Structure 1
Amino acid sequence: MNVGEQIRRGREALGMSQTDLADAIWVSRNTVSNWETGATTPDIQSFILMSALFGITIDEMVKGDANVMAQAIARDRNRLLVVGPEFPKDDSKVGDAAGDGSQNGSEAEDDAASITLTMPEPQGNEVFGNYERIEASHDGVPEFRLVRTFALLSMSNYRIENRAGEVVGTIHRGRALFDPVYQLRVPGFERVQVKRGWKPADFRYVYTIEGEGVGVDGAVLGDEFSIWRHEERIATVRALRGAGRPVYGIELEDGDARPLAFGVAMMFLMLRDYDRCWVRTSR
């Protein structure tokens, strides 16, 4: 089944017209018609919004059209995320690759602890994006926690706790006009800011990140992206299959930047959930 057929079936299963779907994901009815006939293909943001709306994974949406997602990423990469530096694709710069003979490959992989988290339901108004507590665990043991310390409408503060319960950073959520802005502070590092904004000229939402030489490679609204700092990859985030709320796997590289990497990942995952909530409330 191709992407156009998946879109048509998902829309009809919800009893939506092409106009209803177009209104829900901020495109024109003609755009939806072109997707369903195969004349054009969706962009990344439209894929993630329809995935949330239809209750299926992006993988399931593009199954049968192997090149569609690659084309969407190539076409829309700079419209979804604006970063400062260009980061290398050479994995030799990532981690400690056993060059001294003291580790084999599998042991080196174990050093990058993989943690899993399930995004909880937001508290109160869904689009305000307030979460009481988010836990990320490794082998069943909480590795990091995000604990809300303050919330008022669209503003909220969180502390980041490590496995020992120590506070290793904070995240503040505010807003610029109608879009959320997140600021991460981790001792020993510059402030990192991630915000979502509307670009009228491109008719697209753009995620921007700045501070501490941090950037992202990949589709932050897709199934996988990596977080870089000064040309070193510090984390990889993957969307996992799961029923109900979104589930993610995060691989953190060893080192002092682990709390920073987790905080940056959480800012993007909260923004991603914000977009899911906008879709849900527009049904």
Structure 2
Amino acid sequence: MNVSEQIRRGREALGMSQADLADAIWVSRNTVSNWETGATTPDIQSFILMSALFGVTIDEMVKGDANVMARAIARDRNRLLVVGPELSDPSAQGADSERVSTVEAAGAQDADAPITLTMPEPQGSVVFGNYERIDAVRAGMPEFRLVRTFALFSMSNYRIENGAGEAVGTIHRGRATFDPVYQLRVPGFERVQVRREWKPGEFRTVYTIEGEGVGVEGAVLGDEFSIWRQGGRIATVTALRSSGRPVFRIELEDDGARPLAFGVAMIFLLLRDFDRNWVRTSGE
């Protein structure tokens, strides 16, 4: 069975239309149609999202079409580049991965329950990306929230509040040419800035991160990525399966930098939603 047939069968097994699948994985309906007719093949990000949605491995999806993954890798190499400080060595990353698994196993206890966040619909144009309020909850109780304090066209300011409603930081969204630029300020830390820039000559998007030694590892538009600060992991963000708006699990792994880690995670979730909505609407 080739990839186009795998996509069609996986979609129909979930009772989804082409438009439903397109909305779930952040592409246009025409893109899904082209995949199912064999006119084009998915990119790496789309393979990751569909395999999670259909409950199969990527190997199972491309079985019967041995060259499709090689073509996807060759085409999409460096399409999304995250520029920031170098991360710690692989052995340290493996140790942290074991600790994350321990936290997940203890999730049945309220004190160790993961933080979950559902992205609301943006208000107004997707280019402006304004949200009145975004809540992150743990065991049904507020852990952090983002509250909009100002919005004018593509500019907006947000206050980061902890579960007690106390302000612990701010996020400012501006714009350089077309793309959004986010600045995070948390007392006790340097300013962190994340800039999105599309480079048409290189056919790739670049997210540039500056400040506080913060870096990102993993697929920021895929199913999981981690946030690092000065060589140590401070947060892991995982996309959860959902039939509605995107839902994420956020694990904050450094008690001393929790507001900072949450703020950086929120910037990338805001950028994900910007890309999701922009790609979804521009291809119709």
What TM bracket, shorter-length normalisation?
Answer: 0.7 to 0.9
Counterpart-to-counterpart distance in 1, 2:104 and 2:197 = 42
Gaps of 5+ in 2: 20-26, 63-67
Corresponding residue for residue 185 of structure 1: 185
Counterpart-to-counterpart distance in 2, 1:280 and 1:24 = 5
TM-score, normalised relative to structure 2:
0.75
The question of 1:83 aligning with 2:68 is answered no
Paired AA for residue 81 in structure 1: L
Note the aligned Cα RMSD (angstroms): 3.8
Counterpart-to-counterpart distance in 1, 2:98 and 2:263 = 22
Going from structure 1 to structure 2, the CA distance change for 1:238 and 1:114 (only over 3 Å counts) comes to same
Corresponding residue for residue 60 of structure 1: 53
- Partners of 1:95 and 1:254 within 8 A in 2: no
Going from structure 1 to structure 2, the CA distance change for 1:256 and 1:42 (only over 3 Å counts) comes to same
Corresponding residue for residue 254 of structure 2: 254
Counterpart-to-counterpart distance in 1, 2:193 and 2:73 = 23
Counterpart-to-counterpart distance in 1, 2:226 and 2:74 = 16
Deviation digits for residues 214-246 of structure 1 (CA, Å, limit 9, x no counterpart): 111100000001000111000000001122111
Going from structure 1 to structure 2, the CA distance change for 1:255 and 1:123 (only over 3 Å counts) comes to same
* SS of equivalent to 1:63: coil
Note the C-alpha offset of 1:8: 6.1
Counterpart-to-counterpart distance in 2, 1:280 and 1:169 = 31
Paired AA for residue 155 in structure 1: M
Q: Percent identity?
A: 66
Gaps of 5+ in 1: 16-22, 52-56, 98-104
The question of 1:140 aligning with 2:140 is answered yes
Bigger shift: 125-134 or 221-230? 125-134
Bigger shift: 147-156 or 68-77? 68-77
TM-score, normalised relative to structure 1:
0.76
Bigger shift: 133-142 or 112-121? 112-121
Note the C-alpha offset of 1:84: 2.7
- Partners of 1:112 and 1:252 within 8 A in 2: no
Corresponding residue for residue 201 of structure 1: 201
Counterpart-to-counterpart distance in 2, 1:85 and 1:74 = 26
Note the C-alpha offset of 1:247: 0.4
